[in-house]
Structure 1
Amino acid sequence: MIDIALMRTNPDLVRQTCLAKGSDIDVERLIFVDSELRRMTVHMEDLRSKQKKQGRDTEIEVARALKEELKEATEQVRLLQEERDALWVLVPNLVAEDTPAGDDDEGNVELRREGDTVPADENRSHDKIGERLRIFDMTRGAEVAGSGFYYWRGDGARLAWAIFSFAQDLLGGRGFEPMMTPLVARERTFFGTGYLPFFADDLYRVQGTDLSLIGTSEQTLIGYYGDSIVDLDELPIQLSAFSPCFRTEAGSAGRANRGGYRVHQFHKVEQIVICAPEDSERWLDECQRNAEDILRGLELPFRVVRVCLGDLGAPAYKKYDTETWFPSFGAYRETHSNSNLIDYQARRFKIRFRREGKMVHPHTISSTGITDRAALAVLENHVQPDGSIYVPKALRQYLGGRERLGG
C-alpha cells in the first residue's frame, strides 16, 4: 500500500493515481475517515491521560462517566481504523512519471526488438505440432481436468524441463538463491503481495480453508519475508523458484488465447529481488537483462515494450513486458513481465530494514524468468521442414546433446 503520510500531504497525487488506474475507491471518504481517526485518537489519548491522573478522591460518578466516555472513544477509534484501513488497501500503487499513456495493451510502447522472425503461419501452431509429434496434448488434458489444462509428454516434457533448467542455472549463476515454495498460501499472503483485493477472481480457493493455490511463486517468495526486519547487509535479496501456477483466467477464452497460450495451470521460473529503495531501478534492469538473455539462449525473436498506464495493474509502479514471436498468431505475444513495485508490497507485508536508526521499507522487483509459453514458442519458431524441432544450442546439454526432437 502507499505511504499514508503521502495521502495527507499530497492528496491530489492519490486522487490522480486512483483516477489514472481506474480505481473507484472513494478517496474523499478515505481522507475524511483518516482525519477523523487522527482527531478521535488524540481525544482517546487525552481521556486516557485524564483517567490515569484520577486520584482516590475522585467522585465515583465522575470516574464512571470518564470510563464510559473512554470506552466509547476507544470503540470509535477501532471502527474508524477498520474503515480507514479497508479503504487504504484499495489505493493502487503510484505510477512512474514516464509511464506511457494508454487504455490497454494497445497503448504499450515498443522499446526494441531482436531476432529474425519466421513468416506468420497458422500451420505452425504449437498445439498442431504438439499433437503431430505426440509431445503436447490439450485434448487429454481437457478430458482429465477440463478446458485449460494440458500434458507435456515424452520429448515435450524433456524440452520443457530443459528450458526450466537452463533458466534456473542462468539465474543461479547471477546470484539468485533457488527456493522450493508451498503451492498454497493464506489470504494474507495474497493481500501482502497485492493480488488481493485486486485479482480475487483469478484465485483457485481451497474450500473450507483460508488457502488458495498460488498464481505465481512471487506470492510465496515475498511472503517468506513477511512481518520481518531484514539486515541492511542482506540486501539485495535475490530469489528464484520453479513452481506450477494456477489461475482461473476468467473471461480469457477466444482465438487469441487458443492452445496452451493462456491456461489454468502452467509452470514458471520466477525471479524476485528485495532491495534498498535507491537500487530498485537498477535491479529492474538486471531482471530485464536476465529475461532477455534467457530468450537469446532459446534463439527466439522478441521485443520489449514499456507497459502503459491502462495495462499497468494496481500493484505495479513501472513495468516492462517482453513479447516473443508466435508465427501461428502472426504477432509478438507476452512471455515475460517485469515490474518494479517500489515499497507497495513491503508496506502491505511489513517488511523493513534499519538504516541510520530508522525503519525503512525495501523495494521489490517481480519478474518472470520463464514459463511454458517459451516452450510453445520454441515449437512454433524452431519446427523444421521435415517436422522435427531444432534444439537451441543452450538446451542441448540438458537433452543429451540432441540437436533435433521428433520428426
Structure 2
Amino acid sequence: MLDLKHIRTNFDALASDLANRGVEVDILHKLKKLDEQRRSLLVKTETAKAERNTASAAIAQAKRQKEDPSEAISAMKKLAAEIKQFDHELAEIEEKLQTILWELPNIPAKDVPVGADESDNVEVRRWGKPKDFDFDIKAHWDIGEALEILDWERGGKVTGSRFLFYKGLGAQLERAVYNFMLDEHAKEGYTEVIPPYMVNHESMFGTGQYPKFKEDTFELAASDYVLIPTAEVPLTNYYRDEILDGKDLPVYFTAMSPSFRSEAGSAGRDTRGLIRLHQFHKVEMVKFSKPENSYDELEKMTANAENILKKLGLPYRVIVLCTGDMGFSAAKTYDLEVWLPAQNTYREISSCSNTEDFQARRAQIRYRDEADGKVKLLHTLNGSGLAVGRTVAAILENYQNEDGSVTIPEVLRPYMKGTDRIPLKP
C-alpha cells in the first residue's frame, strides 16, 4: 500500500509513475480531493470538540453559581449533533480513501522499463543453448502420457479440468525436483518452512492479493480461510504486525507448498500440460531486508533461482518486466523463462520481485534500526525457486530421447535412488 502523505507531497511525480502502471490520473485526483475533504473535516471536528468542552465547562460553572445553564446546554447539544455528523462524513470519506489506496499498485523502481505489456519487457541475459534434436520431439503432456507418469484423464474425472495425477517415476521426479530446490536454497542461508496451506483474509490483504484480486483465489465457503495462491502469502505474513530487531536482518525463508489458483481470465490459455493448473507445487523464497540492501538482495535471489536451472542444465533467459507487466505489489521484477523445445519458446518459470515497503505497510512489518533506535518499515522480497510443475515440463521436453524415454538430470538422480532414465513401458 502506498503512503498517503507521500502521495500528497509528491503528487505530480507519483501520478506520472502510476500512469505508467495503467492508473488513470482521475483516480488520483479523486484521492487528492477526498484527502483534502478529510483533512478539512478533521479540523472542523477538532474545533467543534474544543467548543463542546468549553460549553461543558460553562454548564458546570453556571450550576456552581446557581445560574441558568440552558443556553450553554443548548449550545452543547448543537455541537454534539455537529460532531456526530462530522464523524459520519469522516467515516464515509475514509472508507472511500482506503478503497482507492488499497487498489493502487506499487510505484515502479526508477530503472524499470516503461511499457504497456509483455512485449515491452527487456531481456537481460541468457544461459545455455537449446538442444538441436535430430528426431520429431513431443510436448511434455504427450511424453507424460506415453510414459504413464502423468494422468490427465483421471485427474479431470476426479476433480475437473487442469488437475492431474502424477504416477510412479513421475511422482518421484516431482518430489526429487522440489527436494533438490529446497536443499539448494538451504545452502544459500534460507530457513526451510512448512507453512499453513490456508490463510485468513488479513494475510491475503497483507501481501496484496486482497481485495483487488479476490476472484483469482479459492475461498472456503462459510469461513475466513483461503487456499494459498503461493507460499509467499504465509511466509511474508509470518511477521505481520511485528517489529523485528534490525541486527537480525536480512531474514531468508524458503518453502515448498501447493498453490491454488482459479486462473480467472485465462480461459483458453495453456489448457493442456503443466503450465497453467489450478493446483501445483512451487518452491518459494521470501526475504525481509533493510531498505538500503533490498536491491542487492533481489539480485542474490534471482541468482538463487538461476542456480537451480543451471544445475538442472535447462536453458533459460532473464528478463526485467516493464511497468505495464509487473505484478500489483512489485516495484521491480525479474522473470526467468525456461526453454520449452516443443513450443519453440521460453516460458516463465520464476518471478523474483522487490516490493520495497508496499507489503510491509499493508502488513505492518517493521524493524527497529539499531543505528538510531527508530521503528521503520522494512522491505519484503519474494521469488519462485522454482515452479515445480513447469520445471518437470522443461525436464521432460529438454531431456527426451528418440526412443521415447526421458533422461533424469544428474543432480536429481540421488533423489530418485539412482534412477537415470524413465523408460517406455514394454
TM bucket normalised to smaller:
over 0.9
Show the counterpart of 1:57.
Answer: 61
Gaps of 5+ in 2: 63-71
Where do residues 215-230 of structure 1 align in structure 2 (5 Å cutoff)? 215-230=229-244
1:246 aligns with 2:263: no
Where do residues 386-397 of structure 1 align in structure 2 (5 Å cutoff)? 386-397=403-414
Show the counterpart of 2:11.
Answer: 11
- CA distance in 2 between counterparts of 1:158 and 1:174 reads 25
Show the counterpart of 1:71.
Answer: 84
Show the counterpart of 2:108.
Answer: 95
Tell me, yes or no, if the aligned pair for 1:256 and 1:329 is still in contact at 8 Å: no
Show the counterpart of 1:184.
Answer: 198
Show the counterpart of 2:379.
Answer: 363
- Secondary structure (helix, strand or coil) at the match of 2:218 reads coil
- CA distance in 2 between counterparts of 1:63 and 1:308 reads 58
Farther off after superposition, 115-124 or 66-75: 115-124
- CA distance in 2 between counterparts of 1:360 and 1:257 reads 45
- CA distance in 2 between counterparts of 1:338 and 1:212 reads 23
Show the counterpart of 2:166.
Answer: 152
The Cα RMSD (Å) is 1.8
The residue type paired with residue 23 of structure 1 is V
- CA distance in 1 between counterparts of 2:136 and 2:86 reads 68
Gaps of 5+ in 1: none
Which of 89, 96, 102 is the matching residue for 1:83?
Answer: 96
Cα distance, 1:255 vs structure 2: 6.2
- CA distance in 1 between counterparts of 2:202 and 2:383 reads 21
1:400 aligns with 2:417: yes
- CA distance in 2 between counterparts of 1:313 and 1:365 reads 13
- CA distance in 2 between counterparts of 1:186 and 1:216 reads 14
- CA distance in 1 between counterparts of 2:265 and 2:157 reads 21
Cα distance, 1:324 vs structure 2: 0.3
Cα distance, 1:94 vs structure 2: 0.3
Farther off after superposition, 227-236 or 63-72: 63-72
1:109-162 residue CA offsets vs partner (Å, 9 max, x unmatched)? 111111121248874211111111111122221111111111111001111111
Who wins on radius of gyration, i.e. which is larger? 2
TM-score norm. by structure 1 comes to 0.95
Against the structure 1 CA distance between its residues 122 and 321, is the aligned structure 2 distance closer, same or farther, given a 3 Å change threshold?
farther
Cα distance, 1:256 vs structure 2: 4.8
Against the structure 1 CA distance between its residues 234 and 51, is the aligned structure 2 distance closer, same or farther, given a 3 Å change threshold?
farther
- CA distance in 2 between counterparts of 1:251 and 1:343 reads 29
1:215-237 residue CA offsets vs partner (Å, 9 max, x unmatched)? 10101111221111111122111
- CA distance in 2 between counterparts of 1:7 and 1:175 reads 37
The residue type paired with residue 100 of structure 1 is P
Give aligned-pair identity as a percent: 37
Tell me, yes or no, if the aligned pair for 1:155 and 1:406 is still in contact at 8 Å: no
Farther off after superposition, 81-90 or 319-328: 81-90
The residue type paired with residue 354 of structure 1 is R
Tell me, yes or no, if the aligned pair for 1:21 and 1:313 is still in contact at 8 Å: no
Aligned residues: 407
- CA distance in 1 between counterparts of 2:100 and 2:324 reads 22
- CA distance in 1 between counterparts of 2:158 and 2:165 reads 10
1:190-239 residue CA offsets vs partner (Å, 9 max, x unmatched)? 12111123322211121222222111010111122111111112211111
The residue type paired with residue 194 of structure 1 is G
- CA distance in 1 between counterparts of 2:12 and 2:151 reads 52
1:19-56 residue CA offsets vs partner (Å, 9 max, x unmatched)? 21123571111101111111211222233333334421
- CA distance in 1 between counterparts of 2:193 and 2:48 reads 51
- Secondary structure (helix, strand or coil) at the match of 1:207 reads coil
Cα distance, 1:101 vs structure 2: 2.7
Cα distance, 1:246 vs structure 2: 0.7
TM-score norm. by structure 2 comes to 0.91
- CA distance in 2 between counterparts of 1:145 and 1:297 reads 35
The residue type paired with residue 394 of structure 1 is V
Farther off after superposition, 121-130 or 25-34: 121-130
- CA distance in 2 between counterparts of 1:292 and 1:313 reads 20
1:319-352 residue CA offsets vs partner (Å, 9 max, x unmatched)? 0000000011110100000111110000111111
Tell me, yes or no, if the aligned pair for 2:150 and 2:167 is still in contact at 8 Å: yes
- Secondary structure (helix, strand or coil) at the match of 1:57 reads helix
Tell me, yes or no, if the aligned pair for 2:20 and 2:115 is still in contact at 8 Å: no
